[in-house]
Amino acid sequence: MLELLTANGYLYLFVLSFLAATVVPLGSEWLLVALLMQNLDPAWLLASATTGNVLGALTTWAIGVWGGPFLMAKVLRIDPVSQAKARSTYQRWGSWSLLLAWVPIIGDPLCLVGGLFRIPFFRFTLLVTLGKFGRYAFIAAATLALA
């Protein structure tokens, strides 16, 4: 099992990181630590984890963008006036919250809200990437320092 994990570690970390950034309740940090302990290249691990996690967040963002009207009206039952007010407030101040998209439990909803309120693709991607890369870099640095 360890040989399989090590041989395919970058791919497995990418897939697990992708799934963890969608609505699937998974964590990818444990695999990053395990692969670091197996002496896989930290730079490639960071790239793999960050890329997978950001693409998963973009998937959630896309659900918000294209499913937004249905979600807002039918699922969340928010009236158009309240939607407009919330959208205005979020677009002015709330997009910075995307730096916290890495935080368990609140990260996925933040990405969905970013899509619902149509945060521009580039801004969304930049903020989410900075936050998610920072989290993985911290975990990798802490792991390597303690190893």
Instruction: Residue 63: give the domain boundaries.
Output: 2-146
What is the number of domains present in the chain?
Answer: 1
Residue 73 confidence (pLDDT) above 80: no
Structure tokens at 11: 């791919």
Structure tokens at 91: 């677009």
Tens of pLDDT, residues 80-125: 887 777 777 777 778 899 999 999 888 888 898 899 888 999 999 9
Tens of pLDDT, residues 3-60: 777 789 999 999 999 999 987 788 999 999 999 999 999 999 999 999 999 999 999 9
Q: Report DSSP letters for 84-128, one per residue.
A: HHHHHHHHHHGGGGGGGTTSTTTHHHHHHHHHHTT--HHHHHHHH
More confident site: 142 or 24: 142
pLDDT value at residue 1: 67
Segment holding 16, helix H or strand E: helix 9-20
